[in-house]
Structure 1
Amino acid sequence: LFFAVLSLIWSFSASSNRNGEDSWFKSLFVRKVDPRKDAHSHLLAKKEESNLYKIQFHNVKPECLDAYNKLCEDVLPSIHTNEYYPCELVGTWNTWYGEQDQAVHLWRYRGGYPALTEVMNKLKNNKEFLEYRKERGRMLLSRRNQLLLEFSFWNEPVPREGPNIYELRSYQLRPGTMIEWGNYWARAISYRQQNREAVGGFFSQIGHLYMVHHLWAYKNLQLREDTRNAVWQHEGWNEVVYYTVPLIQHMDSRIMIPMKTSPLQ
């Protein structure tokens, strides 16, 4: 059966070629990755800034969530506001819809990997942070992180007043397709600026590779729905969706609520 289906797919693709059409169905199965002469990070990341981002996902024991939030609110802002550490807390949230009892933290390191290393070394001597990490460990079921760069065509995330809800849309791309994704979204982002919903766009460097994260802000879920529906009225948006969907292996959406001390409210 498998070979029969495969034969049908290739027959369909060949027929499309004869008609001079590159069908979406064919693109799901046939994709040529063009050779590159430079890393996609050099081509897609902002040149004027050497910012590195770290995103953390903490799965918290349900009975510990309130205590965990209080712990983060007591400790993380002290690192964020201290010029001794070349890093900033961009935002910190609890997941509302998606994976439950989860916290998401996004940090920015101005100066790239040297700044990250400097912060890590300095925190080893911060007794408050070491106690925070020890106490935090008792509250977590699991945790993971990624190091990210920001796309050159996205806004840099800056503090904003609330109240807002945030959507983190995460895409696992097919290996070798990051440049293609960036080319389409460099045009697509102009369609998604109507309500200042675009907060930041990032791609992974360490951790799960070929991962893209888009961060959006909305006043409420209904405005999110209205905004996402309205974008289909823009000529060209349908093409972006048409050509980028085949690049995705997996996608996920989280609706998140900011913690009290998050710069993104």
Structure 2
Amino acid sequence: IHLSPHKYNLYIFPKYPDSWFKSLFVRKVDPRKDAHSNLLTKNEESNLYKIQFHNVKPDCLDSYNKLCEEVLPIIHADKYYPCELVGTWNTWYGEQDQAVHLWRYRGGYPALTEVMNKLKQNQEFSAYRKERGKMLLSRRNQLLLEFSFWNEPVPREGPNIYELRSYQLRPGTMIEWGNYWARAIRYRQHNSEAVGGFFSQIGNLYMVHHLWAYKDLQSREDTRNAVWHEDGWEEVVYYTVPLIQHMDSRIMIPTKASPLQ
């Protein structure tokens, strides 16, 4: 088989010198003298996040949403509990009959422990958990920290759809991922689509979650296509792809109780 040199250069080699060979391997990250959680977060704020994934029985989703709408905003509004409901959604495309909740704990692990201990004494919350358990097939959660270069998620008016893009990274590559995205995030802020960026501390490790907001699916398509015209975006994608073991995308619809609409 004969390959034209011109075609070979055009389609096999990227435009970045030497990068085609380097991309075959995950580059070695320099040894660090501090945990990546300290290098990548807003240390002065020390916010901790908890993301919950609840798989609901298909015939119970409406009842589940109604129950959450009655209970979760009360906890969010009560200053007795040092936590905030950032957002709550149903998965539209991805895992069906699924609810996703994102909580913020200002003050880190002590705030999380305080909330847990106080909720154990809350009879209404205990009744909520018991009723909720009848509606669930499974549930899991993760504790997350936020990347320093992302804005903190704040309430926004709707209607919007949300995309949660989750990346399982290769162990040891979190710093490299953070370095690339610290430069790349500016490409994804033209339409205020960037909501929040997080990485796991407890649960599935070396996992990153990027949360985006769009007016609709067509707006998502247009926004994602437009970024490829930004000088530098192609290089970011090219170098971050080898860091990923696998990735997942959820399109989510906010529930009535969600501060992110």
Tell me, yes or no, whether TM beats 0.5. Answer: yes
Partner SS state of residue 263, structure 1: coil
Aligned to 2:255: 259
Partner SS state of residue 190, structure 2: coil
Identity of aligned residues (%): 88
C-alpha displacement of 1:35: 1.3
Aligned to 2:195: 199
Structure 2: gaps of 5 or more residues: 1-12
Aligned to 1:103: 99
2:159 counterpart of 1:153: no
Listed as ranges, the matches of 1:135-146 within 5 Å are: 135-146=131-142
2:229 counterpart of 1:233: yes
Partner SS state of residue 178, structure 2: helix
C-alpha displacement of 1:50: 1.4
**1:106-132 residue CA offsets vs partner (Å, 9 max, x unmatched):** 000000000000000000011111001
C-alpha displacement of 1:25: 5.0
48, 51, 67: which one aligns with 1:52: 48
C-alpha displacement of 1:22: 3.6
> Matches of 1:110 and 1:239 in 2, distance apart?
36
Change (3 A) 1:227 1:118: same
Over aligned residue pairs, what C-alpha RMSD do you find? 1.4
> Matches of 2:183 and 2:20 in 1, distance apart?
20
CA contact (8 A) 1:24 1:242 kept: no
Partner SS state of residue 133, structure 1: helix
What TM-score, normalized to structure 1?
0.91
Moved over 6 A (4+): none
220, 227, 237: which one aligns with 1:224: 220
Q: How many residues of Structure 1 are paired with residues of Structure 2 in the alignment?
A: 247
C-alpha displacement of 1:31: 3.2
C-alpha displacement of 1:26: 4.5
Q: Which residue identity does 2:177 align to in structure 1?
A: W
125, 129, 132: which one aligns with 1:129: 125
Aligned to 1:70: 66
Partner SS state of residue 260, structure 1: coil
CA contact (8 A) 1:24 1:243 kept: no
Structure 1: gaps of 5 or more residues: 1-15
What TM-score, normalized to structure 2?
0.92
Change (3 A) 1:201 1:192: same
> Matches of 2:22 and 2:42 in 1, distance apart?
33
